[in-house]
Amino acid sequence: MKILVVGAGAVGGYFGGRLLEKGEDVTFLVRESRKRKLEENGFNIRSVHGDFNANPKLLVSGEREEKFDVAILSVKAYQLVRAIEDLRPHLAEDGIVLPLLNGISHIDELARTFGKERVIGGLCLIESTLDNDGTILQKSPMHQIVYGELSGEKTERIKRLEASFSGTKASFELSDHIEREMWHKYLFITAMSGITSLFEAPIGPIRDLDSGQRAIKALLNEITAIMQAVDAPIREDIADVLFERINGLGHAMKSSMQRDVEKGAPTEADHLQGYLLKQAHAQGIEAPLLETIHTKLTLYQQARIAEW
Ligand SMILES: NC(=O)C1=CN([C@@H]2O[C@H](COP(=O)(O)OP(=O)(O)OC[C@H]3O[C@@H](n4cnc5c(N)ncnc54)[C@H](OP(=O)(O)O)[C@@H]3O)[C@@H](O)[C@H]2O)C=CC1
Ligand SMILES: CC(C)(CO)C(=O)C(=O)O
């Protein structure tokens, strides 16, 4: 399959690089500034699973007529509108989009442009970032993509994708209930990024405090109630399961949103916390902790825009 990775950033660069390393036909859709950096410094992954350096095929949208069978979408949520426009001319008529963004509302946005039948579900579990040279840094054991048809079916095209993904150094897991898994990841990351951004600390020191434990639990319960009110396909005991998972995370673990705030970069707060708050308001549900977190992140965003 001809694979186009949209966004050679921390996530797309890592997983696209691993597919390239295995010998798959991978091209990265990039913008001019990332292209320049990759041409100057090369494409480099530094990882606990082994480094990888390459000279991958790069494509800037529209510069040549080339179509792809699968687009792995790995941009930030606030870059989605432009990325969709840039991808549009390069997706084959029967091509599929596999998004790896955190959150859920991008699925509807993608379906509006490409049609629901061309969108499959996906998520990733990884802690990666770019350094100043644009090198992809991946520092902890997890490096997994979970993907599947939103219907859960094992279609011919998903079997083809499975064949392309198999034998890669990173883990690619085919799921027959990807929609539920995406909601669970959404719940996890909204709580994890929310609580670490609120307290400006890694997860360990927060959960060492009784009050930190109570805050994590309260936030998980608020988000779960909103998801249940919109009939999200989540497990009944998911808040307890995720509370245990958060308690088992590495003491120093941070969320990518928190790292973005530390860098003074924009965040995905509207896509994650903001979207859920809109649902809460529409359903008449109170979510004071989630609202406090979103307010803090909105103020942060306004301050950084004002500084520019
Ligand atoms: N990093 C992590 O550890 C994890 C991230 N995620 C999620 O994955 C998603 C991606 O995050 P992450 O990889 O960290 O983000 P990055 O900012 O590292 O990467 C995004 C990349 O997309 C590129 N891009 C943006 N718009 C376009 C476009 N129109 N055409 C081509 N390239 C484009 C950016 O390039 P440019 O230089 O041009 O801006 C950038 O390189 C997010 O939703 C995040 O929440 C999920 C799990 C873990
Ligand atoms: C918590 C983590 C690292 C898990 O993949 C994540 O999704 C993120 O920070 O965006």
- Per-residue pLDDT tens digits for 126-151: 989 999 999 999 988 999 999 999 99
Mutate to test the pocket of ligand 2, among 75, 100, 102 (most ligand atoms within 8 A of CB): 102
| Residues designated as active site | 185
CATH numeric code, 181-307: 1.10.1040.10
Domain ranges of the chain: 2-176, 181-307
Q: Give pLDDT, residue 305.
A: 83
C-alpha angle with apex 223: 222 to 225, nearest 5 degrees? Answer: 65
Q: Give the mean pLDDT of 156-181.
A: 98
Residues facing residue 130 across a β-bridge: 136
Residue 126 Cβ inside 6 Å of ligand 2? The answer reads yes
pLDDT in tens, 2-17: 999 999 999 999 999 9
Distance CA 211, CA 223 (A): 18
Atom of ligand 2 nearest to the CA of 127: 3
pLDDT at res. 306 = 81
Please give the Cα distance from 5 to 13 (Å, whole number): 8
Mutation pick for ligand 2 pocket among 74, 125, 261 (CB with most ligand atoms within 8 Å): 125
CB of residue 196 inside a 6 A radius of ligand 1: no
Nearest to 22 by CA among 54, 44, 46, 47: 54
Ligand number nearest to the C-alpha of 195: 2
**What topology is assigned to 2-176 in CATH?**
Rossmann fold (3.40.50)
